Structure 1
Amino acid sequence: MKLKNLFTEDRAVSPVIGVILMVAITVILAAVIGTFVLGLGDQVQETAPQASFAFDYDGTDLVITHESGEAVNNDSVTIVDPSNENNWPDSDGKITAGDSYNLTSLNANDGDTVRIVWTSESGSTSSTLQKWTYNG
């Protein structure tokens, strides 16, 4: 065996690289298919909308206004105060910038919190979009 031929011989390199590439492609495909088969692909799409709300409290009524951000399905939004859970009134099916909700007769005590909670269509995910705390 000639030592010079050992370093210049490159016939075995191509099959090794081919095998490595095939294994890498197989692993990537298995991960993608496994994600959707296990249902994780559906959960990725169920992220909470990005929306900003303003609160205006006059001593008895709390007016909640969607200021900016994504439109939100009002079926998926619940207003949670210390005594109730209320649904946003159905105007056109979506809560968009400028829409308001009047939470009447709110007897807020110091530290009471009102939360705007979004729940995904499947019900598997929920998130607090914004909260307001009464500081008497």
Structure 2
Amino acid sequence: MDLKGYLFDDDRGVSPVIGVILMVAITVILAAVIATFVMNMGPNEETAPTTNWDVTGDTSSSGADVVTFTHDGGGGADGAKLYFVIDGATNVESNDGDSTDTDKLKSEYTWETLSGGTTDVSASNSVEISPSNSNLEATDGNSLSNLDLDDASIDLVWRASNSDTSEILTSWEP
């Protein structure tokens, strides 16, 4: 019997070992590719714009309360995602000069509504909140033609379109 030929000429054990190594390598590479793909497929979180705002207000005794929000720099913003939340304003309805209703209100107004339809908000765009603003109708249907802001606060709020995420960008108080 040729022992040397029997030990060194038989390659039957090499093929299954190489096959197993190749299958393990393919499985690891495939798992890494799928994991990378799945990790990047999660929902994209919207983030609030990085903007600067200049807010000026005049609630003097002249009777015409005016608050102006001006985009003062930074990135642009989507006007459809910007809301003004007015809390504590009074809607004084006059009947023969007498105040009949002085309930404190909390209303929301969109940037689009107050600006007359502007959706791309960039530097130097502004919105005026005053009783004379003909676009002044809240998202809840309240029309505040006799707006008194003496005790009110106004927040400019950004809201994400697909989630409950929101952030106050700036505020105003008298």
TM-score normalised per structure 2: 0.52
Unaligned runs of 5+ in 1: 1-21
Q: How does 1:75-90 map to 2 (within 5 A)?
A: 75-82=80-87, 83-88=106-111, 89-90=115-116
The residue number in structure 2 matching 1:33 is: 38
Deviation of 1:128 after TM superposition, in Å, equals 1.1
Task: Report which of the two has the higher share of helix.
Answer: 1
The residue number in structure 2 matching 1:13 is: none
Aligned with 2:66 (options 53, 61, 66): 61
Larger radius of gyration between Structure 1 and Structure 2: 2
Q: How many residues align?
A: 109
**Distance in 2 between residues matched to 1:53 and 1:67, nearest whole Å:** 5
Q: Does 1:52 align with 2:92?
A: no
Equivalent AA in structure 2 for residue 93 of structure 1: T
Q: Indicate the RMSD between aligned Cα atoms, in angstroms.
A: 2.8
The runs of at least 4 consecutive aligned structure 1 residues that moved more than 4 Å come to 26-29
**Distance in 2 between residues matched to 1:66 and 1:131, nearest whole Å:** 13
**Distance in 2 between residues matched to 1:103 and 1:87, nearest whole Å:** 11
The residue number in structure 2 matching 1:103 is: 129
Identity across the alignment (%): 21
Deviation of 1:27 after TM superposition, in Å, equals 7.0
Unaligned runs of 5+ in 2: 1-26, 60-64, 88-105, 131-146
Equivalent AA in structure 1 for residue 164 of structure 2: S
**Distance in 1 between residues matched to 2:32 and 2:157, nearest whole Å:** 39
Task: Report which of the two has the higher share of strand.
Answer: 2
